[in-house]
């Protein structure tokens, strides 16, 4: 079907039914930038023209610089590959989170806070969507595999900003939020980046518990009272409480943080997850298997660089002086999805399938 033409020379999608109309007024980039000045809170990040980028560009006629970043990340291959990367469980079952669904849930939490506190929603969402693009296959164990190979180690936040997303020429504020979203690193420079740091922890603590409970690994009834009595036992109740706590603290104090007892509840929930999920014998065994296979893949591609597909450009900031073949191999393997990495190991290395990481369920825990 080619659509339905009208007497005014307009082609409509549908031949029958309602004809929605709107008295729309233009709201281009310049008008949106002016609206931000009036609507956003003092201290919020404001969009300006094409934005502060490593390579100069012309401004987009319709989108602000942060809206443009959001769209570039959303349409990038690095973001799509998150659908095939581990959040907690390798080979996730139906309904279990992947890195992609985790990023989407972080974006929901972060934008809810940003809207309620008059921060820049477009920048907040861009940082949230891109914050984990530096993760390798197999979850955080990939950092253990790649870290010893590179001077300064391998941190997924820094790698994501400085290597994976560098070709997108994102704004400095977006890259800063991605680069510093981990609590172990210095704080982001913008309040939007700080919101994403909190949203990331709130989201993964709540949804990792839900995933583990869904397969019988943990029981929410076992949550300590400082968690259950303050934020509840379900993901929805916990996220609602954490979002409200962030909004209240930001609006009352100007600091991006939480007051007690909510901060204590989040810390206790994370500690519970570490004890029962992340540091369990099955998870540690899974992690060791990930490290072994990824280390072997990097070694193979260092020796056989022509076997990689595509070309990966690593900027100097990723580690000046690092051997080019090693940088190329780490970049290639880190970009793999779980299934591609493990099937490649079997195909090219003759890796025994029984030595591959196993999915985790209650029976194998």
The distance from CA 56 to its chain's CA centroid, rounded to whole angstroms, is: 26
Does the pLDDT of residue 317 top 50, yes or no? Answer: no
User: Are residues 199 and 109 in contact, defined by beta-carbon separation less than 8 angstroms?
Assistant: yes
pLDDT, residue 61, reads 96
Inform me whether the pLDDT recorded for 319 exceeds 80.
Answer: no
Report residue 359's pLDDT band, with 50, 70 and 90 as the boundaries. low
pLDDT(326) > 60: yes
* Short-list 186, 156, 190, CA closest to 171: 190
For residue 52, report the phi and psi dihedrals to the nearest 5 degrees.
Answer: -85, 105
Counting every residue written for the chain, the total comes to: 365
pTM: 0.94
Given this model, what pLDDT does residue 311 score? Answer: 52
Q: Using alpha carbons, select from 209, 185, 213 the residue that is nearest to residue 265.
A: 209
Which single residue is written with the structure tokens 């950092």?
143
Q: Decide if pLDDT at 358 tops 80.
A: no
Q: How confident is the model at residue 186 (pLDDT cuts 50, 70, 90)?
A: very high
* Backbone φ, ψ for residue 11 (5° rounding): -100, 125
Q: How far apart are CA 48 and CA 30, in angstroms?
A: 9
Residue 314 has pLDDT above 80, yes or no: no
Distance CA 123, CA 48 (A): 12
- For each of the domains in the chain, give its residue range(s) and CATH number, in order of start: 64-355 (1.10.3210.10)
| CB 179, CB 172: distance < 8 Å | no
pLDDT averaged over every residue in the chain: 92
Q: What does the block give as tokens for 164?
A: 């994976």
Segment 86-139, tens digit of pLDDT? 988 777 777 789 999 999 999 999 999 999 999 999 999 999 999 999 999 999
Long-range CB contacts for residues 277-283, cutoff 8 Å, separation at least 24:
277/88, 277/208, 277/209, 277/212, 277/217, 277/218, 278/88, 278/208, 280/217, 280/365, 281/365, 282/360, 282/364, 282/365, 283/88, 283/360
Q: What is the pLDDT of residues 14-59, one digit of tens each?
A: 989 999 999 888 899 999 999 999 999 999 999 999 999 999 999 9
Q: Give the pLDDT confidence of 94-104 residue by residue, as tens digits.
A: 778 999 999 99
- Give the sign of the dihedral formed by CA 105, CA 106, CA 109, CA 111: negative
């Amino acid at each position: 079907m080619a659509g339905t033409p009208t007497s005014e020379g307009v082609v409509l999608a549908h031949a029958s039914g309602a004809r929605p109309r709107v008295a729309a007024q233009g709201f281009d980039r310049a008008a949106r930038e002016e609206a931000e000045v009036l609507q956003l809170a003092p201290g919020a990040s404001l969009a300006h023209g094409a934005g502060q980028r490593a390579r100069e560009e012309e401004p987009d006629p319709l989108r602000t610089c942060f809206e443009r970043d959001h769209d570039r990340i959303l349409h990038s291959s690095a973001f799509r590959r998150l659908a095939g990367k581990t959040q907690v469980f390798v080979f996730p079952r139906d309904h279990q989170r992947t890195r992609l669904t985790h990023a989407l849930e972080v974006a929901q939490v972060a934008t809810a806070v940003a809207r309620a506190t008059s921060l820049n929603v477009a920048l907040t969402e861009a940082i949230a969507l891109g914050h984990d693009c530096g993760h390798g296959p197999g979850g955080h164990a990939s950092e253990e595999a790649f870290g010893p190979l590179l001077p300064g180690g391998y941190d997924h936040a820094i790698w994501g900003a400085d290597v994976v997303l560098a070709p997108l020429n994102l704004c400095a504020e977006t890259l800063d939020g991605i680069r510093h979203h981990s609590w172990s690193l210095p704080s982001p420079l913008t309040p939007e980046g700080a919101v994403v740091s909190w949203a990331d922890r709130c989201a993964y603590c709540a949804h990792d518990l839900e995933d583990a409970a869904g397969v019988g690994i943990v029981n929410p009834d076992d949550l300590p009272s400082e968690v259950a009595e303050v934020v509840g036992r379900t993901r929805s109740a916990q996220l609602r409480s954490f979002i409200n706590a962030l909004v209240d603290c930001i609006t009352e104090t100007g600091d991006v943080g939480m007051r007690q007892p909510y901060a204590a509840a989040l810390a206790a929930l994370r500690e519970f997850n570490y004890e029962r999920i992340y540091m369990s014998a099955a998870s540690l065994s899974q992690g060791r298997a990930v490290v072994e296979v990824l280390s072997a893949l990097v070694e193979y591609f260092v020796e056989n660089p022509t076997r990689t597909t595509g070309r990966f450009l690593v900027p100097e900031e990723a580690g000046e002086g690092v051997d080019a073949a090693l940088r190329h191999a780490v970049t290639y393997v880190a970009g793999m999805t779980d299934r591609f990495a493990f099937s490649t190991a079997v195909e090219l290395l003759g890796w025994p399938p029984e030595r591959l990481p196993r999915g985790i369920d209650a029976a194998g825990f």
